[in-house]
Structure 1
């Protein structure tokens, strides 16, 4: 009785899962980066790193610049499927820092991000990606 449903589930294309993981994961970080960029002008980004995030190993000015830069540079790579595994690795590192040092009670959210990023690290960007096109051209 369950076999037809399971067989149907098994037919979900991995390329579709990878595409959704890239878009969903990338969008979360890109939106955050755009908000941080917007907050540079009025000082809210620096205030956020000084007063709320308080990373124990980086001065707020460096942490704010690094996080903003990463959130603006890595998500477009992820969404386009270019250097996907490495962009996912860097964003997973960022997720771990956020989970461990900034919002340790938000594992439900960070866990979802981590699953998307781990999937992309293991399986790659999928067939609808610049990585796939580059691999074809390299042959």
Structure 2
């Protein structure tokens, strides 16, 4: 191969990688906000009509090992609290892990899911898995805390 062609390919490849590196924080933020919105709305729906929520957890959702009232309370608290943490990127991997588990339990415990709604849960699970794998990214409270801790350590 021509040395000039190799040089151009190498330069193009480096630009492509750099572009991906610049997009990663934005994509992670987008994924976090998208998932946080889905789960936060679900949590709000649960607390909006608690009697109906308890009824659903008693009759429709068959959460293994937990009484319906406890499962409902844990689901609502998890959806509201973990989605808020995920949106901020505070304890991002912890929040993502918790929401991943909630999502998996929803798929397992609700036999009435249609194929289309099951696909949504798979999609959300994949987005959460990305945050689990890469962390919340540079546009997060976790990143600010790491920066602050590094500066504090450098001063000591």
Q: Secondary structure at the match of 1:53?
A: coil
Residues 25 and 113, structure 1, Cα contact 8 Å, conserved in 2: yes
Q: State the TM-score, normalized to the length of structure 1.
A: 0.87
Please give the root-mean-square deviation of Cα atoms over the aligned residues, in Å.
2.0
Mapping for residues 1-139 of structure 1, pairs under 5 Å: 11-12=19-20, 13-40=23-50, 43-102=51-110, 103=113, 105=115, 106-139=117-150
Where structure 1 has 5 or more consecutive residues not aligned to the other structure, the ranges are none
- RCO comparison, higher one (Cα < 8 Å, 6+): 1
Where structure 2 has 5 or more consecutive residues not aligned to the other structure, the ranges are 1-8, 151-156
1:58-80: CA deviation from partner (whole Å, max 9, x where unpaired): 11111011101111110010000
Equivalenced residues, count: 133
1:62-102: CA deviation from partner (whole Å, max 9, x where unpaired): 10111011111100100001000010001001111111221
Q: Which has the larger radius of gyration?
A: 2
Q: State the TM-score, normalized to the length of structure 2.
A: 0.78
Residues 22 and 79, structure 1, Cα contact 8 Å, conserved in 2: yes
